[in-house]
Chain A
Amino acid sequence: MKIDINNMTMETARDGLRAGDFTSVELTQAYLTDLPEKNAEMNAYLEIFDDAIEQAKIADQMIASGDATDLTGIPMAIKDNILIKDRKASAASKILSNYVATYDSTVGAKLREAGAVIIGRTNMDEFAMGSSTENSAFGRTMNPIDTQRVPGGSSGGSAAAVAMHGAVYALGSDTGGSIRQPASFCGLVGLYPTYGAVSRYGLMAMSSSLDQIGPFTKTVADAEIVHDAIAGYDPMDATSVPEKTRNENELKQIEPKKIGVPRAIINHPGVLDSVRADFENSLKKLADLGYEIIDIELPSYEMALPTYYIIMPAEASSNLSRYDGTRFGVRQPGKDLLETYMKSRGDGFGAEVRRRIMLGTYVLSAGYYDAYYNKATSVRALIADEFKKAFEIVDAIATPTTPTGAWKAGEMSDPIAMYAADLFTVPANLAGIPAISIPSGADNNNMPLGLHLMASYWDEKTLFHIGKQFQGNK
C-alpha cells in the first residue's frame, strides 16, 4: 500500500498500523526518505535521530503482540527543550550546545512506553523566548507554506516539522502562545492544556507558573489523542494536579452551547482587518453549527500582555540562573568564579534571553518588586477572576489566535512589536485555562489564520467538541 504522508493523521496512521496496511518501519521510512532534503530547506529539525527505524521495529513488535497504544509506531517530533535520556537537548542555545540529557522527562518516558517513534528534536526560539523561531542559536526555521516567512514561535520547529509533512505530530511547549501561535501560522491545530495537566518534569523551565507541554497536529481529533496520552498526574512535578482533583473539577459533561466573544479586544488597533474578517467568518460557521454567540466583557484582557512581560521574565531570570557553566553546558573560563559566570552566561545566551533575564532581575529587585512583580500577580488574579465569571455565562470564549498572519523573516526587529503577537494567547496562560488554535482561513498574503477557543479549567473536552465540529469531522 502506498503511504500518503501528505494526508496522514494520527487516526489514519493508527488505523493503518492496526489493520496491517503498513508497518511502523514502512511508515517511518516514508517520513525519513526525503526528510534530510526537506529539512535542509526548512531547518525544522536540529537533529534527525539515527535510530528511528530501530524505534519503529520495537513499535511493530508491540503492535504484533497486541500491546499497541494510540501512539505506537507513529513518527513524531519533539521540541528541543524536552529531555530524552542520552539524547542532546539544547533549547536551541549555545550554552547547552553540548548537553546530553541524563534522565527522561515524564512526557519523554510516556512516549517511549507508548512506543512512539521519535524522529528528532526540533528548532525553537532559544529557551522558548520568542514568537518567530528567529532567536535560535542554530539558525531560523522557515514557514513551509512560504519560506520567506517565519513559522511563529517559540515552538516553530515543531510546527514546521508537521506542516512540511516531516512528522505526523509534534510536541511543543507553550508559555504565552508558543504552541498556538506557530500552529496558527503553519495551518495546524495547537493545544495549551489546563495548567497542571501535563507534567513539566524534564521540560526546561522558562516561566514555571505558565509553561505546559502540548501537541501540534493536523486535526482536533489528533490533538485529543496526543493530549490524552501525555496528560496525567506526576509526583515529580510539584504543580501537577492529582487525578482526583481533575475529576472533581471536570465540568458537567453537557454539550457546549454558548460561545462568548470579548469584542473590545478584537477591535484592538493592532489586529489586521483580514484577521477580523476571518474571525467573523468563523463566528458565522459556529452559529451555523448551532452555537449561540454572545458578546462578553473581559475588561482586563488587554492588560494581560504587560502583566505577562513582568511575570514571565521574573520567573525566567530565576529559572535560567542554573545555566552558569559549572555543572553542565558550555563554560567560558574566567580568572575567577565570578568572571566565569559572567562570561559563560554572557557568551552562552543570545540577545533576547539576556534581555529577559535583565528585565526579570529588574522587576524583582529591591525597590521595584512591589510596583512590578506584586502588582502583576494581583492583575493576574483579576484576569483569572474575569474568566471565571465569564464561564458562568458561556461554555467557551473565542478570539482570533493572532492579530496578524506570519510575517517575513527579519521584518520584526522591535521587541515590543514582536511581543504583541501573543495578545490573544497570553491570557489563557495567566489564568491557567485550556486553549486551542484551529485553522480557520487565510490573511491577505494567503497565510493561514487560526480560531482561538478557550474553556474553563479541566474542560479540554469542550474545546475538542467544538473544534471537531468546526473542522467538520465530528
Chain B
Amino acid sequence: MQISDIDNLAMLARLGIPDAEKTQFLSDFEAIVGYVDQIQSVNVPDDIKPHYMITNAMRADENPHESGKYTEDILAGAPDRDDNYFKVPKVL
C-alpha cells in the first residue's frame, strides 16, 4: 500500500485526512489489514452458507403523517437552510 492508496480511499469515503497523518494512517492500516488477513486461512465447509439471521425487508410506508408535520423540527438542526429546503454549497 502507498500514500496514493490512502488518498484514493479517503476520496471514496469523502474523508479529509491531513497530509501529516497519512504516514501514520498507512502504517496502522497495514498492521490492521495484516491482522484481519488471517481469516483467509479459515476453511469454511461448503455446507456452511453465509446466512442473514433476519430478512431485512423494508417496512411498508403505511398511513404517512401529514406533509410538513416535522419539517420545522428537522430543518431547525440543519447547518444551512433556505425556506423549507436544506441549503448546500454548489455541486459542480
Contact = CB atoms under 8 A, between A and B. Distances in A.
B32 to A, nearest CB: 6
A324 B92 contact: no
A408 interface: no
Interface in A331-362: 331, 333-343, 345-347, 349, 351, 354-355, 357-359, 361-362
Contact of B73 (A102, A309, A330, A358): A102
A401 interface: no
Interface in B19-63: 21, 25, 28-29, 31-33, 35-40, 42, 44-45, 48-54, 56-59
Nearest to B31: A416
B78 A327 contact: yes
Given A336-B92, A379-B44, A385-B48, A324 B54 contact: no
Contacts of B12: 361, 365
Contact of A238 (B18, B44, B57): B57
Contacts of B40: 371, 375
Interface string B73-85: 1101111100000
B52 to A, nearest CB: 8
Contacts of A209: 52-53
Contacts of A238: 54, 56-59
A374 B40 CA distance: 11
B38 A378 contact: no
Interface string A286-317: 00000000000000100100110110000001
A303 B38 contact: yes
Given A327-B86, A330-B79, A365-B12, A416 B42 contact: no
A375 B32 CA distance: 16
B78 A310 contact: no
Interface string A223-260: 00000000000011011010000000000000000000
A237 to B, nearest CB: 9
A102 B29 contact: no
Contacts of B77: 98-100, 102, 327-329
Contacts of B92: 336
B79 A329 contact: yes
Contacts of B68: none
A379 B9 contact: no
A153 interface: no
Interface residues of B, number: 51
B91 A415 contact: no
A403 to B, nearest CB: 16
B53 A415 contact: no
B91 A336 contact: yes
B89 to A, nearest CB: 5
Contacts of B16: 342-343, 345-347
Contacts of A151: none
A325 to B, nearest CB: 6
B44 A326 contact: no
A379 B79 CA distance: 42
Given A102-B74, A102-B77, A374 B10 contact: no
B79 A331 contact: yes
A357 B15 contact: yes
A369 interface: no
A407 interface: no
A143 B40 CA distance: 38
B89 A337 contact: yes
B89 A102 contact: no
Contacts of A345: 13-16
Contacts of B9: 358, 361-362, 365
B13 to A, nearest CB: 4
Contact of A342 (B15, B53, B73): B15
B54 to A, nearest CB: 5
Given A102-B76, A380-B50, 20 more contacts: A99-B77, A238-B57, A303-B38, A303-B42, A306-B39, A321-B14, A331-B79, A336-B91, A336-B92, A337-B88, A338-B14, A339-B89, A342-B15, A343-B16, A346-B17, A347-B16, A358-B9, A378-B49, A381-B50, A382-B44
9 contacts: A102-B77, A326-B88, A343-B16, A351-B21, A355-B28, A381-B49, A381-B50, A385-B48, A416-B32
Interface of A: 98-100, 102-103, 195-196, 209, 235-236, 238-239, 241, 300, 303, 306-307, 309-310, 317, 321, 324-331, 333-343, 345-347, 349, 351, 354-355, 357-359, 361-363, 365, 371-372, 374-382, 384-385, 414-416, 419, 432
